[in-house]
Amino acid sequence: MPQRKPVTISLPPPLESAVQKLAKKQHQSISELVRAALRLYLDHSEREAALSRAFAYGRKRAKQMGVASEKQVQAIVDELRRSRTMGIDASPRRR
């Protein structure tokens, strides 16, 4: 098992009580519960950052392509779906 470093945190009494109750209910130590909660928080933060980067990329590409509305995006998606159903490559690179 990797070496662990103790970390001290302070919690307001209602939160500390809730943490103790949940740890007991789940048959975990408070440390295990807090580690799991921190892992979930960090994973969520990483996913949010990736999603933010994806949206930024999408906005940039839309601007480059002159797409200004969701209606235009939907029209492009619909066209691509129709062309793929018919076996035609309608990707922007081939236009």
Would the pLDDT of 13 be above 80? yes
pLDDT at 71: 94
Write down the mean pLDDT value for the chain.
90
Which pLDDT band holds residue 1 (cuts at 50, 70, 90)?
Answer: low
Is the Cβ–Cβ distance between 62 and 73 less than 8 Å? yes
Q: Indicate the pTM of the whole model.
A: 0.63
CA distance linking residue 16 with residue 23, whole number of Å: 11
| CA 69 to centroid of chain Cα atoms | 24
CA distance 22 to 41: 17
Q: Is the pLDDT of residue 94 over 60?
A: no
Please give the structure tokens belonging to residue 54: 């994806």
Task: Transcribe 69-95 into DSSP letters.
Answer: SHHHHHHHHHHHHHHHHTT----GGG-
